[in-house]
Structure 1
Amino acid sequence: MFKNLLFLLLVLITGPLYAQSGEQDSRIERKQFDDILFSPGLIVQHETFLEFNIMFGDVTAIDNGKIPVIGVDGFRIGVETNLRDGRHHTIAPKIGYEISATVFALRLSVVNYFQNGHSEFRVLPELGISLYGWANLTYGYGIPFNDGNLNNVSSHRVALSFNLDRRLKDALFN
């Protein structure tokens, strides 16, 4: 079951990486991720957590005068923590994929929470609003796959995150 779930998650995450190159040449090309962004954030889920991520993706900033296409998509790797000492300190490495363009944000991550010898693995889909990919406000629901008895991590969460890139900031503020 666990292997099947990981395979399904891998297919869902890597599916957008491949695109058809045209009708005449039907070979599949791998999409290039040329941009690296730092993506910090704030998460509220029973307690307040901070997140620190590095995103490997593509920044798109096309303003054609009618409907601007401004945003970012790519892989995120990072960590969440509640920055507490003692027995309630929680740290969670995670990996995922994000698409945030113009006004919508969509993210799918896998997270493993660790706290005092307990561990809890979750799949975390998130959906929300975006300000041209630069700032995202998302709601997520963590689907646990084991009971780690973590009392400070809720299944429901609200996250505010930023994709720090000059092109995204300029598109929003200029």
Structure 2
Amino acid sequence: MKKRVLYSLVAVLLICQLGIAQIAPEENIEKKNKIAQKDHPKLKGMLLGVHGARETMFEIGYFYYDWTEITTGKIPAIGGAGYSISTEHYINHNYIIAPKAAIWANLLYLNVGISTPWYFDMEKNNSLRVRPEIGVGSGSWKLTFAANMAITNKDMPNVSKYMVSAICFLNFNKKANDVKRKIGFLGL
């Protein structure tokens, strides 16, 4: 039993040593990250959206988007991934508010994502939903179709099961705006 523990400990130490030996001391990882950040600064700012199906609502919140430009292949590609924290506001006979967290990714204008809104109304009803989305978009906008799947309270009134969304991202990072203008890519 003691030999097994000793052999296991030696094996773990060797694996750790081999892993550490793979990092060359002359490589400067921080320098590579700074170059990438200079070429593709992160987009940060406010998002504004309109959603519709049975009911119309608007959305306002904060977004963060990490984009990249891939020019190594025959077709240049621009894509990225982002997240947002926002609130949706239904304006109808019964006001509904929904805090929401969302993540999404896109490549060549194909956009996929998922969000989790939690609806609350003035009659003390609430419903947590998961909303997978698919559509088109870039770092400046997205247009998606979504299924609003209920986790709790499936029968909450005035909440649609499907919706179409149009969202505009207002970037406040000045460096990112300058880079986007230099590459001149449609939609960014």
| The two structures share one fold, judged by TM-score above 0.5 | yes
Structure number, greater radius of gyration: 2
- Displacement of 1:97 after TM fit? 0.7
Percentage of matched positions with identical amino acids: 27
| Structure 2 residue 153 is matched with structure 1 residue 147 | yes
Question: Which consecutive residues of structure 2, in runs of 5 or more, have no partner in the other structure?
Answer: 1-21, 24-32, 172-176
Structure 1 equivalent of residue 130 of structure 2: 123
Are 1:102 and 1:133, in contact at CA under 8 Å, matched by a contact in 2?
Answer: no
Are 1:80 and 1:93, in contact at CA under 8 Å, matched by a contact in 2?
Answer: yes
TM-score (norm 2): 0.64
C-alpha deviations, 1:2-23, integer Å up to 9, x for none? xxxxxxxxxxxxxxxxxxxxxx
Name the Cα RMSD after superposition.
Answer: 3.0
- Displacement of 1:153 after TM fit? 1.1
Distance 1:147 1:138, change over 3 A: same
CA distance in 1, matches of 2:71, 2:47: 23
Taking the TM superposition and a 5 Å limit, the aligned residue runs for 1:87-102 are: 88-102=94-108
Q: Which runs of 4+ in 1 moved over 3 A?
A: 31-35, 61-66
Which structure carries more helix by proportion? 2
Aligned length: 144
Deviates more, 1:34-43 or 1:107-116: 34-43
C-alpha deviations, 1:119-154, integer Å up to 9, x for none? 010011001122x33221111001101226432211
TM-score (norm 1): 0.69
Question: Which consecutive residues of structure 1, in runs of 5 or more, have no partner in the other structure?
Answer: 1-23, 26-30
Are 1:98 and 1:105, in contact at CA under 8 Å, matched by a contact in 2?
Answer: yes
CA distance in 2, matches of 1:52, 1:162: 10
C-alpha deviations, 1:38-96, integer Å up to 9, x for none? 22111003111111131123122456694232233122111100245xx5101000112
Structure 1 equivalent of residue 186 of structure 2: 172
Which structure carries more strand by proportion? 1
